Copies of this chain bind each other. A is one copy, B any other.
């Protein structure tokens, strides 16, 4: 069954992404991340995916997320000691956590900015990954 006229605005997920076989469970997990870009936790994904796969287990959601992260298809985002969150935005960006609402906003660099140029890195450091996290409040607008 090809999902062309489903209830939600779906994404068709190919059979394979970056060498990872996209099983039913992985597709649905990935689809949820694409659809709802609010940086859900594994448990959030679990609750949402159960609508479509009522028998899925939380362990499978963790497995799927891990597989997607390892293949560079999504990113895992950690904030303090809270549950990990997952994010389909692969470009270099940071996260702003609104302390009042708990909402996470993606934050991008202004054009032409390269963070590593601005840091005094230890000699010989080869950067593989950068994480920028900001915590604060949004002024009532």
Which A residues form the contact surface with B (CB < 8 A)?
76, 78, 80-81, 84, 94, 96, 98-99, 105, 107-110, 113, 115, 118-141
* A126 x B136 contact (CB < 8 A): yes
Q: Given A80-B78, A119-B94, A119-B108, do A130 and B128 touch, yes or no (CB 8 Å)?
A: no
List the B residue with the shortest CB-CB distance to A132: B132
Task: Please tell me which one of the listed residues B76, B110, B141 contacts residue A120 in the complex, with CB atoms under 8 A apart.
Answer: B110
Q: How far is the CA of A127 from the CA of B105 in the complex (A)?
A: 13
Docked-complex contact B118 and A113, CB < 8 angstroms? yes
Q: Which residues of chain B are near A123, meaning CB under 8 Å?
A: 141
Q: What residues of chain B lie closer than 8 Å to A120, measured between beta carbons?
A: 107-110
